[in-house]
Amino acid sequence: MASPFPGMDPYLEDERWWPSFHHHFIHSVYQILLPGLVDRYRGRIQQRKYVSEMPLFTSIIREEHVEEYIEISRRSDNKLITIIEMVTQTNKGTQQGFEAYHQTRRMAKSLQANMVEIDLLLQGRYLIDHSREGIPICHYAVMVTRSTHMDRHELYPGLLQKSLPRFKIPLASDDRDTVMDLQACFDRAYDSGNFEQKLDYSRDLKIPLSNEDKSFVDSLMKSFHKKKK
């Protein structure tokens, strides 16, 4: 079944479910992307591994993390063309996660590869490393950085109240972009992960929201529970 939200579902930010959702989402992007790559490109799901540390009283809690992302390379010479990333809670919430994420970004820049960054988290630090001046207000974002113009960025904003946007994934400079429907990726991930059965929509959302956004969520949940009766 579909999520009760028109776009991204903020209930997925629960730490119990986000790692699973991240996995299903990356695989959904890969599955939707792959049919359009078979002639000139090869797509792979790669893994980034690191350990985060969190102080707890007089001890330190260490956690191992495995984060998936997508690499698109050219078949003729195996040159890396594009990296597709999805921001995690650990990237935003720990220094080790932040550094691991930026290491992949630096790799893309050093290899002159395109970079696609997908942020579907309401909470945590802002990871996009350039000025926010002129950027429209948004809850979610896809940021595209092309290898031919590393100092320029394309922003595709998303709002809690609306469907997620479509965006362009750049390939080689002599090839046309491929278009990705972010909402279709979300819907497939939500369904394949069976999150409709896992998420507890009867509880309050544990995320700080503006009055306007909280009113929207409250109204949506009221309607959702009414339909389920």
State percent of the chain over pLDDT 70. Answer: 95
Per residue in 162-177, pLDDT tens? 999 999 999 999 999 9
Identify the domain containing residue 176 by its residue range. Answer: 10-228
Would you state the pLDDT for residue 39? Answer: 86
| Residue range 75-99: mean pLDDT, rounded | 93
Would you say residue 3 lies in a domain? Answer: no
Q: In the prediction, which pLDDT does 178 show? A: 95
With CA atoms as reference, report the closest residue to 116 among 164, 154, 68, 66: 154
Taking all residues of the chain, what is their mean pLDDT, rounded to a whole number? 91
More confident residue, 93 or 87: 87
Q: Which residue has the higher pLDDT, 1 or 158?
A: 158
**Residue 1 falls within a domain, yes or no?**
no
Pair 40, 23: CB distance under 8 Å: no
Is position 153 within any domain? yes
Asked if pLDDT for residue 127 goes beyond 90, the answer is: no
Mean per-residue pLDDT, 186-193 = 98
In a domain, 5, yes or no: no
pLDDT in tens, 72-85: 999 999 999 999 99
Question: For residue 189, is it within any domain?
Answer: yes
- Strand positions, DSSP E, 38-177: 41-56, 59-74, 80-86, 114-119, 140-146, 149-158, 166-169
Q: Is residue 4 part of a domain?
A: no
| Cα–Cα distance measured from residue 152 to residue 133, given in angstroms and rounded to the nearest whole number | 13
User: Band of the pLDDT at 27, cuts 50, 70, 90?
Assistant: very high
Number of structural domains (the chain) is: 1
2 domain residue, yes or no: no
Q: What is the pTM of this model?
A: 0.92
Establish if 96 belongs to a structural domain: yes
Q: How confident is the model at residue 229 (pLDDT cuts 50, 70, 90)?
A: low
